[in-house]
């Protein structure tokens, strides 16, 4: 029963993440919003809320992380190269393409993680990993060209920002290292988002951003903060606790599906057959890599 509840909670969290991406596309399509300004305010608002929650629920770690110079420096670097870079590239990708395509392209991150891990370990990728790389490349080809070498159906900026978001996801996953284990996810995520938001607000000159008073835009933005950060983050942690990190990560990979469904049903964005083919290729890639992780985890648990 506990595991089943964990599965449901994790799936709902992934759906919320997909919904928040579609909310961002709704804002870009209808209110001519700048993705940099939107990312800056989102990070600042979500980070502030998480820091306040952290100070009430985990005050010791929220304070002690600043007493360790190495951990504090790692946190500051992570806030820029992790949260800021990851969120900004994703929002840029949505603004130049759509939420479904941007989310799918971002999920190439696990492929890059695998490649970098093989490089650092000085070993060649295994057959399954090579298949994952090939499927990922085929998926990107179909999404970008619809199978025609002489045609680009996605804008170059949409494709480039989508690929950069995959790089950002890799950095976001690999950079924090032991500080999450030592100080907890809320501490690292809250401070990371808050500092990333402050830095981006200053860098983009948020005080020059045009004010939007349309209630629809405000509601969509609140949905991005709540359903894209606070609620799914908390629910995902509960899901990890109840059904395990590996299974939770596999369940969370339905986020691209959710983003695509919301995009088609709510925003009426047409989806071509070749888009579906490309999406399926990348889903196969995610499955191959997460299945490998699951097998490793099971082997490890048997040995212990």
Whose tokens are 């940099």? That residue is: 36
Which three-class secondary structure state does DSSP give residue 147?
Answer: coil
CA distance 34 to 50: 24
pLDDT under 70: residue ranges of the chain? 1-2, 177, 241, 244-246, 249, 290-304
**Contact (CB, 8 A) for 75 and 179:** yes
Beta-carbon contacts of residue 303 (< 8 Å; ≥ 6 apart): none
User: The whole model's pTM is what?
Assistant: 0.85
Domain regions of the chain by residue span? 2-107+154-269, 108-153+272-304
pLDDT value at residue 89: 96
pLDDT at 153: 81
pLDDT at 1: 66
pLDDT score, position 140: 87
What number of CA atoms fall less than 13 Å from residue 163's CA on the CB side? 13
């Amino acid at each position: 029963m506990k595991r089943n509840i964990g599965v449901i909670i994790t799936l709902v969290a992934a759906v919320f993440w997909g919904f928040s991406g579609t909310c961002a596309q709704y804002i870009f399509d209808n209110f001519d919003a700048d993705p940099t300004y939107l990312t800056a305010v989102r990070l600042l608002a979500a980070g502030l809320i998480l820091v306040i929650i952290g100070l009430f629920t985990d005050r010791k770690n929220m304070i002690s992380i600043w007493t360790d110079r190495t951990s504090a420096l790692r946190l500051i670097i992570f806030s820029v190269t992790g949260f800021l870079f990851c969120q900004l590239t994703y929002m840029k990708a949505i603004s130049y393409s759509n939420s479904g395509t941007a989310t799918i392209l971002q999920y190439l991150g696990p492929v890059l993680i695998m490649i970098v891990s093989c490089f650092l370990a000085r070993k060649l990728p295994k057959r399954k990993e090579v298949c994952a790389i090939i499927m990922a490349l085929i998926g990107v080809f179909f999404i970008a060209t619809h199978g025609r070498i002489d045609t680009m159906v996605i804008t170059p900026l949409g494709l480039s920002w989508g690929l950069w978001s995959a790089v950002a996801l890799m950095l976001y996953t690999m950079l924090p290292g032991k500080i999450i284990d030592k100080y907890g996810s809320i501490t690292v995520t809250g401070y990371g988002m808050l500092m990333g938001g402050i830095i981006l607000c200053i860098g983009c000159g948020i005080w020059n951003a045009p004010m939007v008073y349309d209630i629809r835009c405000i509601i969509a933005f609140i949905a991005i903060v709540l359903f894209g950060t606070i609620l799914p983050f908390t629910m995902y942690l509960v899901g990890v606790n109840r059904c395990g990190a590996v299974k939770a990560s596999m369940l969370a990979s339905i986020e691209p599906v959710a983003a695509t469904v919301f995009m088609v049903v709510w925003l009426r964005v047409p989806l071509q057959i070749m888009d579906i083919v490309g999406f399926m290729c990348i889903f196969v890639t995610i499955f191959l890599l997460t299945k490998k992780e699951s097998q490793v985890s099971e082997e490890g648990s048997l040995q212990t």
